[in-house]
Structures are given as structure tokens and as C-alpha cells.
Amino acid sequence: MLFADDILLVDKTREGVEGKLELWRSTLESKGFRLSRSKTEYMECNFSSNSPSEGIVTLGDQVINKSTRFRYLGSIVQSDGEIDGDIISRIQVGWLKWRNASGLLCDRNVPLKLKGKFYKMVLRPAMLYGAECWPLKEKHNTKLSVAEMRMLRWMSGFTLRDRIRNEHIREKVGVAPVEDKIRESRLRWFGHIKRRPSDDPVKRVEVLDLTCVKKGRGRPKKTWLENIRNDLSLLDLNENLAFNRTQWRKRIHVADPT
């Protein structure tokens, strides 16, 4: 192995990050590897304050570049806690898959249902990677829905000038709304969390006490749990039903049109 990407070091303080960087550098060099100073970046997550802290991160005598976003295992983490960059990235990945398969999806000799199956197996999973953990806002749902409908209209051979409703196109292709499928994946993940032991790391994150966190001015940021509460209210579900896995999956499932 000549190089390795997507290595993440996390610490609460600037000094802790510098210490871990130095340890990582010395360990690599002792094994014959090198740590690239030019490609190494750091990101400061300061969600509770609008003003960035002062200071720099150094590795030896070299200053490390500061970044406002970080790509890790296909997802983009932003320093302000928002997900706009991740949403745009996933839509771009979906269109990349689309272009690679345009010969099939734009072929009029291929049945629409077969195109729909390909979309559900390849394109939609690429766009919704990590969607179960997104604290989605209405503008995010709109972006994803617009991107999906452009794909479905293109593969079905219709444009907006044909004045055909989105519901009719979905029935022809056999694809459920992307917003409903995101809700299904989000509730499925919520069910996994509810069934985990109380000492499980993901369970401890759910019950974190944030009363001591200083909040900025304005409306609080939309959280993942707020999305879950809206989903439970919309589907008239009790969160305790998640302990019955069979019933839970049956109630949250969104079937694609046949």
C-alpha cells in the first residue's frame, strides 16, 4: 500500500488534535510511510457558536490547512453542521450513475417497468446513501424530488410540456416518491436504535444531555429526532412498536407502484 485516504482523527481540543497528528506521523514514518503535509487538513466543528475560535493547527513547524467540509466514506461533513453539501453530492452521484447507464435508460425499446427496476436497484440507492441519518429540511426534500422526477421524465420520454402529472409518470415507471422512501429508511434506522442495548454507543448518542450547550440566536437547527417525531405523527405510530420488528417494518414499508 503506497497511500491511504479518508483517515479521520478526532479530539475535543486543538492541542489534542496536534498530539494525535504527531503520533500518527511518527508511527507512519517508523513503518516506512510518509504523511502528506499538503493534503492534510483540519476542520473545526463549533455547532454551538457562530464565531469561529482563533488559532491554528500545526504539524511540527508546518501550518495545516483549514477546511469547512470533510468527505468521509462517501459522506460530506460540514463544519456548521448542515447537510447541504452532502445532499448536492449525492444528487451528483445519482446523475453520474445515470450518465453511465443512459444507453439503457434512454432506449425506447426497453420497457418502462424494466427501467424503473434499474432505477430502484442502482440510481436511487446511490442518491440516498446515508439518508437515514439526514436531518432533512423541506428544501432538501424538494431538491431530491426534483432530481428524481427529471430522471423519471427523461427515461419515460416525457417533458414538462406534455403536461403529465408526476403521479402518472411514477405509476408508469413503478417508482414511489423519494421522500416516502427516505422516511422508510429513517424509521427503519430508528427501529434499529430503539432495539439496541442501553450501553450501545449509538444508543448513548440518542440520549445525550445537551442542556449545557450554548445555542446561537434564531430558530434552532432542525434535528434528526424532529424528523422522527414528524414521521411518527404522520403515520400514527407509537415508537414502542419498534420493539416488534415484524410489525414495525410492515407499518413503515412504502411499496413501489406495480
Over residues 48-66, the pLDDT tens digits come to 555 556 678 888 788 888 8
Give yes or no: residues 88 and 168 share one domain: yes
- Which one of 54, 78, 102 terminates a domain? 78
Distance CA 77, CA 69 (A): 6
- Residue 148 domain flag: yes
What pLDDT does 29 receive? 85
Domain count for the chain, please give it. Answer: 3
Domain extent for 37? 2-78
pTM: 0.81
Task: Output the CA angle 78-79-84, nearest 5 degrees.
Answer: 30
Read off the pLDDT of residues 190-204 as tens digits, 9 standing for 90 and up.
999 999 888 888 877
Give yes or no: residues 187 and 221 share one domain: yes
- Residue 258 domain flag: no
Distance CA 187, CA 197 (A): 18
Q: Band of the pLDDT at 69, cuts 50, 70, 90? A: confident
Q: Band of the pLDDT at 1, cuts 50, 70, 90? A: very low
- Is the pLDDT reported for residue 94 higher than 70? yes
- Residue 211 domain flag: yes
- Which one of 31, 52, 78 terminates a domain? 78
Check residues 221 and 101 and name the one with the higher pLDDT: 101
